[in-house]
Amino acid sequence: MRLTSRRPWLRFARRSYPCILQATLVASFHPTQPFLLAKPFRQFFSTRHLHSAPTATEIQMTHDIKTIIHAAIDAVSPVTAVQNHLTTTDGNTLRVGMRDYPVQEYDQILLVAFGKASSAMATAVLDRLEEMEGLPPLSGVVIVKDGHATVPEQERLSARNVRVREASHPVPDQRSVDASNEILQLVQQPNGLTLLITCISGGGSALFCAPSQDLTLDDLQATNTALLQSGWNIHDMNVVRKRLDQGKGGRLAAAAYPGDVLSLILSDVLGDPLDLIASGPTVCDTSQWKDAWKLVQTLPPRSLPPRVERLLQQGVDGLIEDSPSEDHPVFQQCENVLVGNNALAVDAAAKQAETLGYHPIVLGTRFEGEATEVARFLVSMAQHAKEGPNTYSFVTDFPVALILGGETTVSLPPQCTGKGGRNQELALQAAVLLQQLSLRNVVLASVGTDGTDGPTDAAGR
């Protein structure tokens, strides 16, 4: 079946919430009893009735699940996430947690951002900075996925000498390299005491891309394509990506030394390991060359360009310096702050479900697996829940909302030419199974929060 793009939804998602978590929501109702599941990453939204004439219950369920979805997305919007953590005191001090940054003591402030939420996050930081008195000179660079920066955001940032650069995602292009080099050149310019504020979100690995040593953009593009088709999770992909880039694995923070670094991070990785989100440009690297080499050995022969394999081999042999370790002095002056993650979205979904009269059950926030296999699991859960409380069921109170967070993957054969992403893969597989089982009063929604589902424009019914 061909999936066509519903442009109004796509524009809304990109304009309002271009960021972090992928969610898969499933609601199954036993007559009037709902069952809802959630899973993390991308704001794609679609609902489809499996039968030609939806029941009154299905219509109400569809309305409710949209309300729940919006609550989850609102909870992790970039502006909310940043401004909940970044505050001002005394008219001249930025505060994050227990750490203060007296802005008048700095000779300049640099604002850089990369990821699908970068323009919204940078604008939120700018809002806070403009509350300050005696603000020092400000400049910066924001790298955002094509179409993910609104005109007002671009105008506001440009007016404060913060350049907005669009680039490709999930496979980097020359614009990614050019903009990334702008950032590296900016932070390396000595100009007195500097505060570097970095906004990092999902998609940052591709958008902030500066090839290492003798590698070319073509090498990185081919490597990214191979990794995206591998079925690996984001953790494993970023272990390899760090070895191939001048800014990843703490290298951006090292480039800014001896300046102070404040990184505001929206997580798109299960468990929120800060060294893996956007490949950890301001975080000390916990992986090593040997870890990357071990991973690439699981790929089919000649999956990676020869120069990439040669670089990895040289790293394993100790011929190339690895990423900055935790004892590097830059990390004494670098603060990495997690401002949003999957758990926030799941928690908001549960609270909204309860408000609507459902009994929420959160099954977890670290669910992983192939999208088709997760679909089978969700359908089996729906079928089990519909058997009702008279069996040995985990469902004891109705109506019920089961909520699950995580990240699915899709393994693609080389000859695949389809369009779409993990949410559509999961939703369509589940829809087929639900129809085969003739389960009525079931609504399934597969959702994420960053504006697109997969590396294409297919987003809709």
The pair of structure tokens assigned to 64 is 């409710």
Distance CA 411, CA 236 (A): 14
CB 343 within 8 A of CB 271: no
List phi, psi (to 5°) of 439.
Answer: -85, 110
Residue type, 355: T
What is the pLDDT, as a whole number, of residue 6?
Answer: 32
- Rounded to a whole number of angstroms, the CA Rg of the chain reads 23
CB 59 within 8 A of CB 99: no
Alpha carbon dihedral 41, 8, 56, 348, in 10-degree steps, equals: 30
What is the pLDDT, as a whole number, of residue 460?
Answer: 41
CA neighbor of 69 nearest in space, from 124, 116, 22: 22
| Domain ranges across the chain | 20-26+53-75+343-448, 78-341
Q: What is the three-state SS of 203-224?
A: CHHHHCCCECCCCCHHHHHHHH
CA neighbor of 10 nearest in space, from 418, 428, 424, 460: 460
- Show Cβ contacts of residue 50 under 8 Å, excluding neighbours closer than 6 positions: 431, 434, 435, 439, 442
List phi, psi (to 5°) of 430.
Answer: -65, -40
Distance CA 63, CA 71 (A): 13
What is the pLDDT, as a whole number, of residue 124?
Answer: 97
What is the pLDDT, as a whole number, of residue 392?
Answer: 64
The pair of structure tokens assigned to 316 is 């394993």
Which long-range contacts does 435-438 make (Cβ < 8 Å, 24+ apart)? 435/50, 437/379, 437/383
CB 280 within 8 A of CB 238: yes
pLDDT in tens, the chain (461 residues): 333 333 222 222 333 322 323 333 344 333 233 334 433 333 334 444 455 678 888 889 889 989 998 999 888 899 999 999 999 998 889 999 889 999 999 999 999 999 999 999 999 999 999 999 889 999 999 999 998 899 999 999 999 999 999 999 888 899 999 999 999 999 998 788 999 999 999 889 889 999 997 899 999 989 988 998 888 887 898 889 899 999 999 999 999 999 999 999 999 888 888 988 888 999 998 889 999 999 999 999 889 999 999 999 999 999 998 888 888 888 999 999 999 998 998 999 999 999 998 888 888 888 888 989 988 988 888 888 777 666 666 777 777 787 888 888 888 777 777 777 888 888 889 889 988 998 887 777 778 766 667 666 665 43
Q: In CATH, which superfamily holds the domain spanning 78-341?
A: Glycerate kinase, MOFRL-like N-terminal domain (3.40.50.10180)
The pair of structure tokens assigned to 133 is 């008195």
Distance CA 21, CA 451 (A): 10
The pair of structure tokens assigned to 319 is 């011929």
CB 340 within 8 A of CB 20: yes
Distance CA 201, CA 78 (A): 9
CB 324 within 8 A of CB 285: yes
